[in-house]
Amino acid sequence: MEDDIEPGGIPNRRRSSWKTFIVDASPIFRRPYTLNTTVTGISLSVEPQLLENLPKLTYEESQCQGRLMSFIVGDDLQKGSLQKACQWYSRHLQMRFKEAWYLLARSLVGLVDDSSEPKPGDLVVVYDFVLAVARLLSVKKNVALVEFVDQLDNDSLLKPQLDDERAKPNQIVFAALGWLTMFYEAVPDPGADSLEVKKTSTSSSGLRNALITRKYSSFQQGFEYIAQPLDTMLDHFGCLIPMPRIRPLHPQWLSGNQQSEVIMVHSICFNFLHQIAGLRIEWVSSLTLHLELDSERKTLKLFQYPSFCRMMMRDHKNHVLSRLLNDHAERFCEDVNTPDIPTALLFEEILRSYRLIFGQDERSWKAFSKMLTKVEEDQGQGRTISACDPLLHVLCGQSSTSPEARKIYDEIDCRRDTNLNEQTTYCNPDTFPFFGKRLLELQQFDKQHQPQTVRSLLGDKRDVGAWFTLWNNQLLVFFATFTILLMVVSLGFQIWQTILSKQQLQQGPGTVSGS
């Protein structure tokens, strides 16, 4: 992902051939569907308390839901982690539908304008609408928001409205595109003539906070850009569409010279970053913000929906987002050839990054696991609890070599010639073309901080030689102290024996004369 520019800048991107990259890997968790919480600066961003209020789908609604999921995941057999991911996303969409029902009811044919929530059978209309948006997104080159609305209107999916009354159709299509891409989360009740994205994240207290990010230049815009290609329109919000780094971060890797900087796994794991640098995790619903580091506030943003990433790991040639990502790359490509962005790799990198930050370090994934205990305590105190992505619990709350986590990484292995279950101590940043630079920035942030406590000092392994020297010195000090203690005890014992012997000698003659 190109991070060399601020929102509104024009990056210089070139196309090159893509290779299959190799990355590292590493072990237990208990609760499969636990909810929101906080621990040592980590917090899970979560949904409003809607899960338990979701109605059961009718047979027709289930059929429409199945068609949408089949279109998104392709021909992949929905089992294992993919099945769990699809189940989670289905619930997630239902919550989004309920949240945006005001716009849906007033825009889609077949729904009652003044209805406050979906009635049995209403979601047939909504799923057909989202599927139509997904199909157009996947095939239409340089498609604009207004073209979505026009096509849906021609297909008789939208209620008749005058040209100056088309604000709601544009807003609900914009919201649906956010559900399908996760590049942003649209505001469910925007202003009358605007498109708005949410500017909140989940803080370490588990509450919604104002989102502070360099990626967004604006959280609201009017309808003046709806006739421009979708990626161009989104650029007016900021850098919302991820882009891979075409050229390697370190060309030395290609020539076999591995003297360039690498990502040391122990230096970017959460426990280490929290203990050494005081870093806190901030959970976000936009995958564009994944691994964004705010060094001043000492926060690291992480995407909170790995199930969406697992679901989007499919052949990029038929990927629902490939057309959009390639259109966006083509605008900045200087080569005559059409760019070919490996869309599925974007989502694989996010899944692999959870392993680097949590899964390979026992204290890190155990810290995440403790959050679930904190959640249950908060729930007992009446705090708001919400449904969290179950795969997040597996990838962040278990060792990467645990059975559940291994299955997910094995599924990635099946798609690429890699072995993610081989635990390593470092990896090449160029194996992360989307997020490699951000991982290096995180490692550099770590290098700028020094341990502030004895415990963090003894656990600082950034300089392995210095770490061994420190521990050797500690052992020498321990043995020296232990030896001195033994000598003091021995000396005390000898003094005690001398005193005892002297007392016996003094008592001996007196005892004889008395007899």
Q: So what's the pLDDT on residue 415?
A: 59
Please check the confidence at residue 35 and state whether its pLDDT lies above 60: no
DSSP state of 25: B
305 vs 309: CA distance, rounded Å: 7
419 vs 409: CA distance, rounded Å: 8
Mean pLDDT of 12-19: 38
Question: Nearest 5 degrees, angle CA 310-CA 314-CA 315?
Answer: 160
- Name the burial class of residue 204, with classes exposed (0-12), middle (13-18) and buried (19+) by CB atoms within 10 angstroms of its CB: middle
Amino acid 122 reads D
282-307 residue pLDDT tens? 889 999 999 999 989 999 999 999 99
How many C-beta atoms surround the C-beta of residue 494 within 10 A? Answer: 10
Q: Please give the full DSSP string across 374-442, using - where no structure is assigned.
A: HHHHHHHTT----B--HHHHHHHHS-TTSHHHHHHHHHHHHHSS--TTSB-SEE-GGG-TTTHHHHHHH
How many C-beta atoms surround the C-beta of residue 268 within 10 A? Answer: 24
Amino acid 222 reads G
The gap from C-alpha 194 to its chain's centroid, in whole angstroms, comes to 29
User: Bigger pLDDT: 145 or 514?
Assistant: 145
CB 28 within 8 A of CB 403: no
218-242 residue pLDDT tens? 999 999 999 999 999 999 999 999 9
470-507 residue pLDDT tens? 556 667 777 778 788 888 888 888 888 888 887 777 77
Q: So what's the pLDDT on residue 341?
A: 86
**Can you say whether the dihedral through the CA atoms of 144, 146, 151, 155 is positive or negative?**
positive
pTM over 0.85: no
Q: So what's the pLDDT on residue 472?
A: 64
Please check the confidence at residue 29 and state whether its pLDDT lies above 70: no
Please check the confidence at residue 100 and state whether its pLDDT lies above 90: yes
130 vs 351: CA distance, rounded Å: 26
Please check the confidence at residue 39 and state whether its pLDDT lies above 60: no
Short-list 426, 422, 390, CA closest to 406: 422
